[in-house]
Structures are given as C-alpha cells and as structure tokens.
Amino acid sequence: MTVGIDLGTTNSLIAYFDGEKPVIIPNRLGEKLTPSVVAVDEDGTVYVGQTAKEIKLKNPLMTAEVFKRSMGTSKEFVLGDRKFTAEELSSLVLRSLKDDAEAYFHEPVTEAVISVPAYFNDKQRKTTKKAGELAGFKVERIISEPTAAAIAYGINDREADTRFLVFDLGGGTFDVSLLEHYKNIMEVRAVAGDNFLGGEDFTEVLEQIFLRKNDIDEDSLDIRDRARLRKQAEIAKLAYEEGKKTILRFRLGDKEYEQEISLDEYEKACQILLAKIKKPIERTLKDADIKLADIDEVVLVGGATRLSILRRFVSRLFGRLPNTSINPDEVVACGAAIQAAMKERQESVKEVILTDVCPFTLGTSVSVMRRDGIRDNGHYLPMIERNTVIPVSHTEKLYTTDDNQTRIRVDVLQGESRMAKNNVLLGEVCVPVPAGPAGTEGVEVIYTYDVNSILEVVVKVLSTGVTERVVIKNEDTDLSDEEIDERLKALDELKLHPREKEENKLLLLRGNRMYEEKTGDARRAIEQAMNAFEEVLDRQKSEEIARERKMFKEFLDSMEDIE
C-alpha cells in the first residue's frame, strides 16, 4: 500500500486510492486535517496536531508551527530544553500520519508519495524526502502540489488538449503553475511562487486591524496573548465565508474586546498581499509566453482560497470563475494518492506521463569586465534558465582571468540572483590548466539536467582535453550510480552544441554554399538570415531553434526557387 501525503504548512493530510477514488484517511481524532503543529509538554512527551495546537494556547514556548517555511535551512526551533530542525518537526508530523494510516488499515504502511510546493528548491525537496525517511517511509516520489492537484481534478482524463493554471495558496506558501495536457502527457510549462506568503499572512492582517482599532500596542502582548489573538483572528477570518462582516472577540486581562470588521475594510487592508500574489502569476505567464486568454481553466488549491476576497480577486484577474469543485484542503492529498496508485500501476488509474521544468535557474559564477576596465568577480552566469522543460543540456566556454592561472573552478549554483553569492551552492568542479597569460586557456562547461532531477556538470580543458565531472542527484530518486550513468549517456545527443547537430549543420552548410554562389542583394539577404539563425543557435533554446530552423529552411528554399 502506497499512500499520498500533503505535508502542509498549516494542516497535513494522508490519503489512499481504494481502486475507484482517492480517500482521505482520518486521524486518531476522526478528523481529516491534522494541524502541522508540534508541542512538548513538561514531561518531555511530544504531541502532534490538534493537541499540540491546544498546548500552544497555554504554553507557546513549547510549541512549533509554520516550520515548513524553514525546510532546507539550518534554523532551529527551541521547545523547552530541546532543539528541532524543520526537517525533524516535519518527520514528527509524517510519523503521526503514518500511525493513523496503520491504525486505519491494521497493517504496516511504509511507502509514500509526498507533495511539496512547486517552487521548493533542490535542498528543500531533499529535506522533505529525508523527513519522510525519518518517519519510517520509503518515499517513492516527491510530487509538486500543483501537479497533484491537476491529477485530482482529472485533467489527465480530458480528451481535448487543456491549458490550465493552478493557483495554490496554503497556510504558508503560494504557488502558481501553468500546465498543459495533451494525449497522455501532463507538461509543466512554468512555475513561480513565494514560500513566505500564505493564509497565515491574511490572518495577521485581521490581527493588525483589531489592534489598531482598539489602540492596543502589539509589543505589550505576551507570547500567550499573541497565540490566543491569532486563534481568534483565524476564527474571525473563516467567518467571512458566511457573510459580509465578522466579529473578532478577544479577552485581554480583565477587559473583553469585540470588534466588527467589514469585508470591504478587510479586503482594502489586504491589497498589499494581493499585489504580491500578482507577481508570480505575471512571471509564470511571461516565462511560458502565454496570455491570460489562452488559459482554459483556473483551479484553486489550498485552504486559504476559501476566502471570498481571494476568489473575487482571482475571478477579476482571469475574467472567469475558478474551478473549486474539489475541497481545496483535500485536493493535493487526493492527487498524491492517485499518483501513488499510478506508481503501483493500478488498472483503474489512467497512466499519465508527467513532464517538469527547472523551477530555479542553474548556473555558475564568472568574472565580468566593467566599463572602467576593472574585472569584477562573483557574477552569475545562467546555464539552464528557470522553467526550461527537461531533459535539457547547455554548453558554454569559459576562460582564465589571471596570468599564470593553473586551475579553473566551476561552482554549480541554483537561483535567480545576479550575484553568485546570493544563490544556492550545489557543488563544484576543479580542473588543472597550463599556466599562461589571462584568457589563453579555457574550458568547455556542459550542464545536463535529467527528468529525475539529476544534474551532470562536465568541465573539459580545451587545450589538454582533461575532463572532470560531478553528478548532483536529487534525493527523491532511487536510481543507482550505474543507472544514473546509463541515463546520462542516453542524453549524450543533448550535450552537442546546437551548431553540431546534423539538422542545423546541414542548413548552415547549405547557407554557406548558397552565399558563395550568389552576389549582390541575394548574398546580403542570405548573410542576414544566417546571422539570425546562428544567434538563435547560440542561445541554445530548443523550441526557439525549432521555429527559427523552419523559417531559415523556408527562406533557403525560396531563394533556390527564385533561382
């Protein structure tokens, strides 16, 4: 039995596929949602879920929550005299879900598909898998939450081609993903998001309105008062589902406060957060080169999308009502359960091929020459841009920057910052080069990224042929080193620079031959067309090359027809 798990910022769920449909497994309290909260009592006993949430109201210092935002970091959460990382706290939540599933089935449950935000980087995905292993699971796959949601909505069962956007706003993270389904392929076109934006932030807005209206200094509240206020604000926020106003009730000392807050006032106060939501949406559409009008469907995911102001915002932004037919709290867990059934090859589940993209840019650090002639180190050179469909390979030539330099170090980075130091270091490759004047020795650097999140970096010295490589493996792949080598070998053709691929080389040879044959305006036209094609080849983007190759061939055909 393989289960699907939505490891959420605010709540977590576990589900399985019963042969016909996904089913949410209730926890020991009979509830579908398990709060992602961990607490330790005076005796050192660890509690997870609703009990931990209750302990928080009495003793917030012994409680941890919203730790999903810190996955992949070294941040420690102090509960009494014990320290936990986000990875360890997540493993405790996962262990609780595992215990609930085993009590439900009366048998061991050891295999799981776990969802993560699409915008999680390599390190965050690795720590999520590690948390699953610490909880006693064999993690069969790490699946992106938007992809899981799309599967739950049955997008993969649609006969017609469908282009859709998944708007996923959970308790602590926001993702937007653009996916396209055709035949039996589910292709992720682009992803973007914000790991520090979620329903918790919308709750905080309500808190701030309450404090301001009642002239209460936030710094005057102790940690227990803040915990109680957060709970009351969450209750008040959910009440907006019922009508146009809410009442936030809060007792501070001997005084009882009761504040009515209209939906219009709340929506106005949330404008900054709504503006932050727009940016990832715009970035996703731009990266995928798709217009709003080209999207067939918008799917809402995550408990925070229950808010009426968010649903109105999405409807206005996209000019249509979003699809909310599946419980937004449960949809990701359901999709993960269906994916688990696909892994088990259950006959009742239609197999779908999932393609993905690089959520972050992969590159290396280089030196650049400033206008004043001074060399500036530590700039970022993107090799594989974010939202590039994988598998993919890209090649660049780099050269020494100092006289008598004897080594070239290529650091492997992940991120979007212009400066290398602000990106995540994944590894490095060093090669020896003959000493000589700056710029005379160089290396060919090849980045190859596989669908299993395997990144191979090959560095070859141009003058000596000395070659070094590093393979950076995502922890959610179970492939052995031999299997990885075999897969990368199968991608050797990708490692060729586009200029060296036969279909492109043929056109360049043909263009050169026709240039030699022609004179005057015809020769100049051929030169311009060849320059344009070569510029596209140098950018090494396969879709762009395919379009330009077709145009260049049609141009050459027309020139020969004229002849």
Residue numbers annotated as active site: 6, 68, 145, 168
CA–CA distance, 343 with 481 (Å, rounded to integer) = 22
State the pairing for strand pair 424-432/375-384: unpaired
Tally of residues, the chain: 563
- Structural tokens at position 136: 């006693």
Q: Give the tokens for residue 518.
A: 């022609």
CA distance linking residue 312 with residue 484, whole number of Å: 47
Q: Could you give the CA distance from residue 194 to residue 170 in angstroms, rounded to a whole number? A: 11
Q: Which token pair is 324?
A: 């909310």
The dihedrals phi and psi of 351, each to the nearest 5 degrees, come to -70, 140
How many whole angstroms separate alpha carbon 295 and alpha carbon 312?
A: 18
Whether omega before 391 lies within 30 degrees of 0, making that bond cis, reads yes
- Say if residue 436 is exposed, middle or buried (CB neighbours under 10 Å; 0-12, 13-18, 19+): middle
20 is written with which tokens?
A: 């016909």
Kindly give the residue spans of alpha helices, DSSP state H, lying in 239-307.
Answer: 263-269, 271-288
Alpha-carbon gap, residue 52 to 173, rounded angstroms = 21
Nearest Cα residue to 233 out of 247, 217, 212: 247
467-473 and 454-461 as β-strands: parallel, antiparallel, unpaired?
A: antiparallel
Question: Are the beta carbons of 209 and 266 closer than 8 angstroms?
Answer: yes
Where does 289-422 have alpha helices with state H? Answer: 308-318, 331-343
Backbone angles phi, psi at 485, to 5 degrees: -60, -40
Residue 68 φ/ψ, nearest 5 degrees: -60, -30
Which residues pair with residue 394 across a beta bridge? 447
Exposed/middle/buried for 221, CB within 10 Å: 0-12, 13-18, 19+?
A: middle
395, 365 contact by CB (below 8 A): no
Secondary structure of 160-187 as H, E, C letters = CCEEEEEEEECCCCEEEEEEEEECCEEE
Q: How many CA atoms lie within 13 A of 412 on its CB side?
A: 23
Write the Ramachandran bin of 510: left for phi over 0, alpha for psi from -120 to 50, otherwise beta.
alpha
* Burial status of residue 238 (CB atoms within 10 A of its CB: 0-12, 13-18, 19 or more): middle
Instruction: For strands 362-369 and 375-384, give the pairing.
Output: antiparallel
Please give the backbone phi and psi of residue 472, each rounded to the nearest 5 degrees, phi first: -105, 115
Measured CA to CA, the distance from residue 150 to residue 166 in angstroms comes to 7
